[in-house]
Amino acid sequence: MSEHFSVERGLFDDVMVPNYAPSAVIPVRGQGSRVWDQQDKEYIDFAGGIAVSALGHCHPALVGALKEQGEKIWHLSNVQTNEPALRLAKKLVDNTFAEKVYFCNSGAESNEAALKLARRWALDVHGEDKSQIIAFKQGFHGRTFFTVTVGGQAAYSDGFGPKPGDIDHAEYNNLDSLKALISDKTCAVMIEPLQGEGGIVSPTDEFIKGVRTLCDQHNALLIFDEVQTGVGRLGELYAYMDLGVTPDILTSAKGLGGGFPIGAMLTTTEIAKHLKIGTHGSTYGGNPLACAVAEAVLNTVNTPEVLAGIKTKAKLYVDGLNSINAKYNVFSEIRGKGLLIGAVLNEKYQGQAKNFLNAAMDEGVMVLVAGASIVRFAPSLVISDEDITLGLARFEKAIANLV
């Protein structure tokens, strides 16, 4: 018999490593864009985990896929392949620039695979001098030691001893700063096609096309980190599709599993061939459960109705936030794309994004921050208009309490 005892937030401090500071409430169940905590208080979910729950909580198509696969087979080693992984890979290949897919379990792992592939490609094709990796300040690529070093915030990579080498950082939306660093020794440029953690920063058209051109001029691979922007988040299946720029390698995670852990690295056959047998791997990567759920996510998101809905829902948010701002004057800008939206706090409220998040929780709406001064919204891509309206009304109340 299993032992059951009541758990509460205080236990976190007793038994968990102190690298997080979770809020006072513990959510216990969710349905669509609503979540309930231990006291049965209801929240409208404008956070989606952190841009993960692309179809809200317990979407019937995802629950169905998980249950069905859960009664067939859960795990195989990579000594065998499996049907859900093959089906998912085929769908990703059919719907993107990519010809080959590698599966893993998270965003960081998909970026780790992309970076290792780029280094191996450069070594095989161009020799050992071509190892420089360029990424961007304020960028975020995950928490493994390689990806956190490639990420553009030293605060996250300092304090762990010697870092992986030959990694440089240019400024986002500043082509000259990339020009100053890039050369024939550059192996790859890794970039988010909209900086998420770094503050919901869109690339200018000139910049993102210029990055592609510079990569081409110097035979460097262009890696798009679409861990946050992918799977419909910005209104297209992947963000690159709306930018007129195609990367050589693309990474996907977060929304891909809709809450079930999975990551994927997508690339061309020509580049993929350098990850020869034995060069990289993952015990759980491509496991049947994750792939079955991700297939259901793709089937649901990649339809004209859902993708068009993202754009109309985004307008509801932006209009709603603007009208809140007209009353309370708290934001200097509402920015972002699709359902990845940043409300930038104005001068008076600098550094207070966390207070807005906490006040919103009190009123029954979950939001995110992106840095200290931006409130971020990354709701379900199929959130109902009623839930948007109700959640924004609660958010307005929260602001009224604060100002």
Ligand X SMILES: *Cc1c(COP(=O)(O)O)cnc(C)c1O
Annotated binding-site residues for pyridoxal 5'-phosphate read: 107-108, 140, 225-228, 283
Is position 138 an interface residue for ligand X (rule: CB under 6 A)?
no
Q: Do 277 and 120 form a contact (C-beta atoms < 8 A)?
A: no
CB 200, min distance to ligand X, A: 11
Is position 108 an interface residue for ligand X (rule: CB under 6 A)?
yes
Q: Do 321 and 376 form a contact (C-beta atoms < 8 A)?
A: no
Nearer to ligand X, 227 or 292 (CB): 227
Binds ligand X by CB under 6 A, chosen from 54, 215, 249, 253: 253
- The CA-atom distances, in angstroms, between 344 and each of 179, 319, 350 are 30, 15, 9
Residues from 155 through 214 that contact ligand X (CB under 6 A):
192, 196-197
Q: Quote the CA–CA distance of 302 and 230 in Å, as a whole number.
A: 11
Q: Which two tokens stand for residue 359?
A: 């006040």
Is position 140 an interface residue for ligand X (rule: CB under 6 A)?
yes
Binds ligand X by CB under 6 A, chosen from 32, 56, 84, 142: 142
Stretch that binds ligand X, among 72-80, 104-112, 350-358, 366-374 (CB under 6 A): 104-112
Q: Quote the CA–CA distance of 403 and 395 in Å, as a whole number.
A: 12
Contacts with ligand X by CB under 6 A: the residue count is 15
Backbone angles phi, psi at 65, to 5 degrees: -65, -40
Q: Do 96 and 238 form a contact (C-beta atoms < 8 A)?
A: yes
Is position 225 an interface residue for ligand X (rule: CB under 6 A)?
yes
Which residue's CB atom is positioned nearest to ligand X? 107
Binds ligand X by CB under 6 A, chosen from 107, 199, 210, 309: 107
CB 229, min distance to ligand X, A: 7
CB 58, min distance to ligand X, A: 21
Beta bridge partners of 79: none
Q: Quote the CA–CA distance of 246 and 142 in Å, as a whole number.
A: 22
CB 86, min distance to ligand X, A: 23
Q: Do 254 and 50 form a contact (C-beta atoms < 8 A)?
A: yes
> Could you give the residue ranges of the DSSP H alpha helices within 162-204?
175-179
Q: In 3-state terms, what secondary structure has residue 160?
A: coil
CB 109, min distance to ligand X, A: 7
Backbone φ/ψ region at 35: left (φ over 0), alpha (ψ -120 to 50), beta: beta
Is position 252 an interface residue for ligand X (rule: CB under 6 A)?
no
Is position 227 an interface residue for ligand X (rule: CB under 6 A)?
yes
Q: Do 104 and 285 form a contact (C-beta atoms < 8 A)?
A: yes
CB 233, min distance to ligand X, A: 10
CB 36, min distance to ligand X, A: 25
Is position 228 an interface residue for ligand X (rule: CB under 6 A)?
yes
Beta bridge partners of 340: 337
Is position 236 an interface residue for ligand X (rule: CB under 6 A)?
no
Interacting residues toward ligand X by CB under 6 A: 106-108, 111, 140-142, 192, 196-197, 225, 227-228, 253-254
